[in-house]
Amino acid sequence: MNASKVIRDVKKNANGWFWISLMGAAVILLPIFSILASLFKPTNENWAHIQEFLLKDYALQTVWLLLGTGIATLIVGTGLAWLVSAYDFIGKRFFRFAFILPLAIPPYIAAYTYSTMFDYTGVVQKTLRDWFGYTLPPDLIDIRSLPGAILIFTLFLFPYVYMITRSFLERQSGAYIENARLLGRSPAAIFFRVVLPMARPAIIGGVSLVLFEAVSDYGVTSYFGVHTITTAIFQTWFGLYDADSAVRLAAFLMAGIVGAFLIERLLRARRRYSASTSKSRPLVQKRLRGLGHAAALLICGLVVAVSFLIPVLQLIAWAWLTYQDVLTAQFIELTFNTLRVALLATAIILVISTTAANVNRVQRNRFTMILTKLLTAGYSIPGAILAIGVLTLFLWLDQQVIAQFGTGQLVLSMTLIMLIVAYVVRFMATGFQAIEAGFEKIGHHYMEASRMLGHGLTKTFFKVDLPLIKGALLTGTVLTFVEIVKELPLALLLRPFNFETLATKTYQYANDEMIQEAAVPALFIIAVSLLAVAVIHRVGERTER
């Protein structure tokens, strides 16, 4: 390639979109690189111990956790998405919406709730004891275990897979599925041979969000005594007092995960999954009857009960015991704080991820692909480690300010900007995956047609792409907003003075094993998230018509 060609290609691609996503990338990548940089620092004497005792066993448990959670959410998420988009049955409209609700419950709250419900003083054993005189063998139900953790993650994270897959199935090419039906394939065969492969990009997007969340979780795993790489990271930091090695371990984790997804992308780049056809139309739904109908109702009812109703009712019961001590006027401020940071960060995330996803789609080269994958890397590392990266960046910026103006005061790192940037870095993935799936769904041809009719990239985006990806955009907004409302470690470490959110308030009690007291702020979190889900669901319903 000669120089003039290089200049030509740079000129061709370097438009406003490109610069905005590059700027967004810089903000996001600096903290991530500051963590990755630790891979190149010399190791200290703790490293040998970590390798000998922490890595092997913990890596293995991490693999089991991810495998179990991945497969289970895949089955539950795609199964339910298929059920509500291909069939019609009583209460379908309700279930279609209700399957999103578990997202409103932070997994660590669910973990505390379920394990307390099932332990000796919990409602299950108490009822059996007091009403039936039956004492459960203590080892029969052991929620605090690896399978328990998989169960919790599945119940409360499957909506990621469900939402993205459903929105794909409901709009994409009913033709393919109807074809398969006409060819006389059984529903199972259609599901496995047609639906799963076709929805692969959507499913991978959803499952990867779940896996990111599970691998970087500390709340559930440490409480359940499951040893993952992330618990090893915190043991290194809090037990060996070695923050450097902890960051290093996190860097390995992140590099591994980003690597895995890059490989997946490169493998996928060879095939085209987005049926580029503009003739996609919604699937005609089959009315369920008889036994099938009953089975569908039973499954849907069960899922909604265990993933939403039961834990919420239990939390309400606990809150009833404690609200007089816990609930104060301060909750208005807490709710307002939570909303403010969540809305702001969500807006920024959506602008950057839409821009970056569009650039990646238009330019389709390795550089933009790797760049966009790195943009989403923040989701794969534990929040507390990411917090160090963001803190390092902001303190460095502050040092520059101090050197310039000699104020001797920290400016940026004492403001909410630091926390908001951290949220953006961490949750870029949720916005980005949803939007990328939306772009994949509409394919390239509409954009190309628009450009052939004389509209530039920006006009094309607003006139053609935006109306067509509206659904995906809404999905991305809910997912991101709810994630931020639930988020804990970043809020804990990076907030400015006297700034509390609903999540930090919940932590204050839950950390101290006071689940009954924690129920009050936890219910506030759930209420705020539910409101977001419901509002956006209504808007979504309207625009779909």
Partner 1 sequence: MKNRLLSTALIAVLSAGLLAGCSSGETNQQSGSEPAKTESKELNIYTARNYAVDKKLYENFTKETGIKVNVIEGKAEELIERIKREGQNSPADLFITVDGGVLNNAKVNGILQPVTSATVDQNVPKELRDKDNQWIGLSSRARVIVYSKDRVKPEQLSTYEDLATDKWKGKVLVRSSTSLYNQSLLASLVELNGEQKAEEWAKGIATNLGRAPEGGDRDQAKAIAAGQGDVAIMNTYYFGQMLNSKDAEEVKVAKQLGVFFPNQSTTGTHINVSGAGLVKFSKNKDNAVKMIEFLTGTESQALVSKENFEFPANPKAETPELLKSWGTFKAQQIDFAKLGEHNKKSLEIMNKVGWK
Partner 2 sequence: MNLVQVAHLTFGYHRARHTLDDVSFTVDQNEIVGILGPSGSGKSTLLRLLAGLETPTGGTITIAGRTVVDDSTFIQPEHRGVGMVFQDYALFPHLTVAQNVQFGLHALSKPARQARMKEVLALVHLEGFESRYPHELSGGQQQRVALARALAPRPAILLMDEPFSNLDADLRAAIRSELRDILKAADITCLFVTHDQQDVDAICDRSITLK
Q: How many CB atoms lie within 10 A of CB 202?
A: 30
Can you tell me which residue has the tokens 């499957």? Answer: 158
To partner 1, the closest distance from the beta carbon of 91 in angstroms equals 35
Told to check if 7 binds partner 2 by CB under 8 A, we report: yes
Q: Which one, of 475, 149, 522, lies nearest residue 314 by Cα?
A: 522
Q: Which one, of 111, 86, 104, 110, lies nearest residue 96 by Cα?
A: 86
CA 394/CA 219 separation, integer angstroms: 26
Considering only 453, 497, 542, 545, the residue that binds partner 2 (CB under 8 A) is 453
Residue 148: CB partners within 8 Å, gap ≥ 6? Answer: 111, 114, 115, 142, 224
H or E element, residue 287: strand 286-287
CA 408/CA 400 separation, integer angstroms: 11
Considering only 43, 51, 277, 330, the residue that binds partner 2 (CB under 8 A) is 277
Told to check if 369 binds partner 1 by CB under 8 A, we report: no
Q: Are 143 and 115 in contact (CB under 8 A)?
A: yes
H or E element, residue 97: helix 92-98
To partner 2, the closest distance from the beta carbon of 278 in angstroms equals 5
Told to check if 366 binds partner 2 by CB under 8 A, we report: no
Q: Measure CA 427 to chain center.
A: 7
CA 131/CA 127 separation, integer angstroms: 6
Told to check if 410 binds partner 1 by CB under 8 A, we report: yes
Q: Are 209 and 121 in contact (CB under 8 A)?
A: no
Q: By C-beta, is 94 or 238 nearer to partner 1?
A: 238
Told to check if 279 binds partner 2 by CB under 8 A, we report: yes
Can you tell me which residue has the tokens 């860097």? Answer: 251
To partner 1, the closest distance from the beta carbon of 403 in angstroms equals 11
Can you tell me which residue has the tokens 């169960």? Answer: 151
CA 63/CA 414 separation, integer angstroms: 39
Told to check if 145 binds partner 1 by CB under 8 A, we report: yes
**Residues paired with 287 in a beta bridge:** 88
Can you tell me which residue has the tokens 């004497």? Answer: 45
CA 259/CA 381 separation, integer angstroms: 14
Considering only 451, 493, 508, 527, the residue that binds partner 2 (CB under 8 A) is 451
Told to check if 359 binds partner 2 by CB under 8 A, we report: no
Query: Binding-site residue total for partner 2 (CB under 8 A)?
Result: 28
Q: Which stretch binds partner 2 (CB under 8 A): 272-280, 300-308, 510-518, 534-542?
A: 272-280
Amino acid identity at 463? K
Within 13 A of 541's CA, how many CA atoms are on the CB side?
A: 10
CA 341/CA 472 separation, integer angstroms: 22
| Site for partner 1, residues 246 to 305, rule: CB under 8 A | none
Q: By C-beta, is 15 or 392 nearer to partner 1?
A: 392
To partner 1, the closest distance from the beta carbon of 258 in angstroms equals 24
To partner 1, the closest distance from the beta carbon of 200 in angstroms equals 33
| Site for partner 2, residues 195 to 254, rule: CB under 8 A | none
To partner 2, the closest distance from the beta carbon of 471 in angstroms equals 12
Q: Which stretch binds partner 2 (CB under 8 A): 3-11, 130-138, 374-382, 507-515?
A: 3-11
Told to check if 314 binds partner 1 by CB under 8 A, we report: no
Considering only 456, 512, 513, 535, the residue that binds partner 2 (CB under 8 A) is 456
Q: By C-beta, is 340 or 364 nearer to partner 2?
A: 364
Q: By C-beta, is 266 or 466 nearer to partner 1?
A: 466
Q: By C-beta, is 370 or 402 nearer to partner 1?
A: 402
Q: By C-beta, is 8 or 193 nearer to partner 2?
A: 8
Question: Dihedral, CA atoms, 412, 413, 419, 424, nearest 10 degrees?
Answer: 60
Q: Which one, of 207, 204, 215, 213, lies nearest residue 59 by Cα?
A: 215
Binding mask 104-123 for partner 1 (x = CB under 8 A): -----------x---xxxx-
Q: By C-beta, is 92 or 441 nearer to partner 2?
A: 441
Told to check if 469 binds partner 2 by CB under 8 A, we report: no
Residue 71: CB partners within 8 Å, gap ≥ 6? Answer: none
Task: Kindly report the backbone phi and psi dihedral angles of residue 67, in degrees, each rounded to the nearest multiple of 5, phi listed first.
Answer: -60, -50
318, interface contact from partner 2, partner 1, none, CB < 5-8 Å by kind: partner 1
Q: Measure CA 371 to chain center.
A: 19
Q: Are 164 and 205 in contact (CB under 8 A)?
A: yes
362, interface contact from partner 2, partner 1, none, CB < 5-8 Å by kind: none
Q: Are 473 and 438 in contact (CB under 8 A)?
A: yes
Considering only 452, 498, 542, 545, the residue that binds partner 2 (CB under 8 A) is 452
Binding mask 441-480 for partner 1 (x = CB under 8 A): ------------------x--xx-----------------
Can you tell me which residue has the tokens 């799963």? Answer: 196
Told to check if 272 binds partner 2 by CB under 8 A, we report: no
Q: b/e map of 440-464 (b: 16 or more CB within 10 Å)?
A: bbbbeebbeebeeeebebeebbeeb
Told to check if 358 binds partner 2 by CB under 8 A, we report: no
231, interface contact from partner 1, partner 2, none, CB < 5-8 Å by kind: partner 1
Told to check if 241 binds partner 1 by CB under 8 A, we report: yes
Considering only 408, 453, 454, 542, the residue that binds partner 1 (CB under 8 A) is 408
Q: By C-beta, is 66 or 519 nearer to partner 1?
A: 519
Told to check if 445 binds partner 2 by CB under 8 A, we report: yes
281, interface contact from partner 2, partner 1, none, CB < 5-8 Å by kind: partner 2
**Residues paired with 88 in a beta bridge:** 287
Q: Which stretch binds partner 2 (CB under 8 A): 277-285, 295-303, 381-389, 503-511?
A: 277-285
**Residues paired with 286 in a beta bridge:** 87
- Footprint of partner 2 (CB under 8 A): 2, 4-5, 7-9, 11-12, 276-279, 281, 445-446, 448-456, 463-464, 467-468
